Amino acid sequence: MRKNKILFTREQIAEKVRALAGTLSKEYAGKNPLFVCILKGAVMFFADLTREMTIDLEMDFAALSSYGDKTQSGGVVAITKDLSVSVKGRHVVLVEDIVDSGFTALKLLRILEGRGAASVKIACLLDKPAGRKTDVTPDYACFEAPDEFVVGYGLDFNQKYRNLKDIWGMN
């Protein structure tokens, strides 16, 4: 597999991230939300998004695995790093790189709701509805991804390409 074309440039990404941060800052003003970065793919997006926020917020990190070394989720989601703070009574924003099959997002939603979160919403860089295998829909998405494998800006293939500043399609 190799990267073959830029789908979203770093300038387009920065513009969408700023706009989303403005929306979230308004929606969560005065609520001290907990922003949860889903590692590793969302780390670039998470860092840029939270730096653009104009409100007080807290951060935490979780890691889940559903892809392994494949280009499609097998549907089995394993938690490899759990949250370090309680979500009970908190407004939580899950920050995902991409919502594709929806398996990871669905598992996290169920877990956090079960732990008593006041609300849980999903903010993602890329929404890929063509790959959806659950009824999960992100609450906020910067871009709709085409039905192809993508890398860059945190997204990887076998742990490579995360450091690319643009988002690329692969074949």
Residues serving a catalytic function are 100
* DSSP conformational letter for 160: B
**How many alpha carbons fall within 13 Å on the CB side of residue 127?**
14
Residue with tokens 């742990």: 159
Strands (E) in 40-90, as ranges, are 58-65, 78-81
- How buried is 85 (Cβ within 10 angstroms: 0-12 exposed, 13-18 middle, 19+ buried)? exposed
Angle between helix 10-27 and 43-52 (nearest 10): 60
Closest CA to 37 of 93, 86, 106: 93
